[in-house]
Structure 1
């Protein structure tokens, strides 16, 4: 769609969330609390690696859906662009939604007791840091989608 701007607020916001989705698991977990935690058994390390890789792949997939209409030589209708952005918002939210809900499983905590009161024990508004950070990423994805849907609704028909 030639009348569609390349850089839009929605694309920028969801791209930032996608990049964070790809990088944050590695920044947060390659330390003493996870990857180098001597108390973790091998199977826990396996699932930690799986989760970090999932974050990377979901972030890259989000970027694909976000930029596919802008970078393709194919002509996209407003409906197709909106659908691609909806897919980006869904995929971009998955890692963060599962991160929030993981704390709901029996015995699960955001942080192991040995790290309470250390530099890893960040609080945001009194909550363990991961909860608000994960929730904010979900909100950014859906605000980005809403901005794009609104912008597309305002465009003249192609």
Structure 2
């Protein structure tokens, strides 16, 4: 249970705090090259994901629930990874307009962070389900 709680909390911190910190600036929300329509979708996504993250933390820490918060967090982090995998289908990119990209160990930080989160969440979910049998 501790591992699952850790996995949920880490993933929630990534998509509830780290992502907004990285995106509420002139590269995303206040990017003058983005249309107002695109910006509203970005802010909507940030608010929705952060709200779901708060719900996940409440379910995990207050209610002792692990299944639903794990699934919600897997959907959010896995949704990013899927959108990254299919980026060529819709012309997406993790590179900024100047061609730069935030990388760590040669891997895009979003892919690295959410990839680790997905692995930890999946392992926590597996351990939690196995322990209940």
TM-score (norm. length: structure 1): 0.70
For residue 150 of structure 1, report the CA deviation from its aligned partner. Answer: 4.3
For residue 91 of structure 1, report the CA deviation from its aligned partner. Answer: 0.4
The answer as to whether partners of 2:4 and 2:124 remain within 8 angstroms in 1 is yes
Are 2:126 and 1:142 aligned?
no
Larger Rg belongs to: 1
Partner SS state of residue 27, structure 2: coil
Distance 1:142 1:65, change over 3 A: farther
Distance 1:69 1:36, change over 3 A: closer
Gaps of 5+ in 2: none
Runs of 4+ residues over 4 Å off in structure 1: 150-153
Gaps of 5+ in 1: 1-6, 71-83, 154-158
Are 2:110 and 1:123 aligned?
no
Equivalent residue for 1:107, pick from 91, 100, 113: 91
User: Residues of 1 paired with 2:13 and 2:79: CA distance?
Assistant: 17
Q: Larger % of helix: which?
A: 2
Partner SS state of residue 113, structure 1: coil
TM-score (norm. length: structure 2): 0.81
Q: Which residue of 1 aligns with 2:13?
A: 19
Tell me how large the CA RMSD over aligned residues is. Answer: 2.2
For residue 50 of structure 1, report the CA deviation from its aligned partner. Answer: 1.0
User: Residues of 2 paired with 1:113 and 1:138: CA distance?
Assistant: 28
Q: How does 1:75-94 map onto structure 2 within 5 Å? A: 84-94=65-75
For residue 68 of structure 1, report the CA deviation from its aligned partner. Answer: 4.6
Equivalent residue for 1:66, pick from 60, 64, 67: 60
